Amino acid sequence: MDPKLLLLLFQLFQSSCWMVRATLSKTDAKKSHKTEAETSLSEVSVLDRGLVVSDLNWKDVVKEEKRYCARIKKVFKGPVLGYVTPWNSHGYDMAKVFGSKLTSVSPVWLQLRRRGPEIYDVTGLHDHDPGWVKAVRKSNKKVRIVPRLLFDGWSYQDYMSVLTSEDEIEELGSELVDVAKTEGFDGFTFELWSQLGGNKRKELVHFMKHVCETLKVKRLDCILVIPPPVTSAGQPGMFSREEFEHLAPVVDGFSLMTYDYSSGPRPGPSSPLHWVKDCVLQLAPSAQWREKILLGLNLYGLDFSGQGTDPILGGRYVDILREHRPKLLWDEYSAEHYFTYKRYSFEFRRLTIMFLSVFQSLQMRIALATELGTGLSLWELGQGLDYFYDLL
């Protein structure tokens, strides 16, 4: 569907919203629907059960979403990085169940703080759960545990002091090696590039080269989170081919954030397929180093209303399907499913448009990764539906 036409329809529906002065009448209230989920595991994958289709029925999602294939086997040939967060315990469970499909797991645990000149402190270690790590490694002896490291509370002057000093960089790298060895980590996933808003790129390249080389000497992995090289407006992003080519020889993986394409009041896709492909080709027009790009897949949906955009996780998505029984529509332009439903509150009834990542869209992005020779990064484990992992 043309994005402009979709926006026009959304605005027309929004303008027709009406105010309710009292509680909703019985005729307005939705009846409960009793379609229940199957809980037993399946002997075959979702591909063999005919669920990876563009004309998906809401009942099939509600019924099948917990039924992943009992025979867990990696299908995707490239590397797969999965994020887990402390506020989503289901992601921890998914990492244990599907560990054999993952190359690396990045728990969102750590913050790097600068306490003074050449003084660094890694916080968040209280979230480190050795028992869980042991369980993940039991499912896959080769999996790499690479916690995300957020540069937290850094001022602009902190960045400048570190980026322009070899002594500062060496001390920072030494602190990270010590933490990794003490805690049993296999490296780190660095999230700092976007925090300078696209500025000081040469200095950031030098910094990352130095830190990654320090880690690699100790056989530790160095993964860098990067913003898309092309914005949704078609403008150059904060990370370009030049930076990619400088860093590719030393960085083990680039976690590419190819999602959140649409935001704010304008309804639209989360990750249009043509844009995802363009992002990869902008960074790596030739095949060299492409295997280090971890194409980002969002396992959540986007819910657009007049009040803004909300991420929708798997459980809430199933609840909405069960309650509203919408017709799932396929947008050829973005290769994503979407549907509309009416959201009720005490004062308002609003039309909402939801774009979501379900089988057909995920399968097409995984196929694109295979075609281009990239890996995958999943934000985040446990946010989607359990049977999504059959595709990996």
Rounded alpha-carbon distances, angstroms, from residue 357 to 35, 161, 189, 210: 21, 42, 25, 37
Spans of the chain, pLDDT less than 50 = 3-33, 346-349
Neighbours of 274 (CB within 10 A): 11
**Exposure string for 213-238, b = 16+ CB within 10 A, e = fewer:** ebbeeeebbbbbbbbbbbebeeeebb
Cβ atoms of 172 and 130 within 8 Å: the answer is: no
Nearest alpha-carbon partner for 356 in 304, 302, 278:
302
Percent of the chain with pLDDT over 70: 88
pTM higher than 0.85: yes
Calculate the alpha carbon distances from 376 to 25, 39, 280, 362 in Å. Answer: 48, 28, 12, 11
User: In this predicted model, what pLDDT tens digit does every residue of 95-113 receive, in sequence order?
Assistant: 999 999 999 999 999 999 9
Q: H/E element holding 386?
A: none
Tokens of 75: 């299908």
Digit-coded pLDDT (tens) for 299-322: 999 999 877 888 999 999 999 999
Q: What is the pLDDT of residue 206?
A: 98
Instruction: Report how far residue 175's alpha carbon sits from residue 169's, in angstroms, rounded to the nearest whole number.
Output: 10
Give the per-residue pLDDT at 343. 75
Closest CA to 335 of 227, 261, 256: 261
> Which residue is it, tokens 């980026």?
163
- What is the predicted pLDDT for the residue at 34? 55
Q: Report d(CA 352, CA 5) in Å as an integer.
A: 16
The pLDDT value recorded for residue 33 is 43
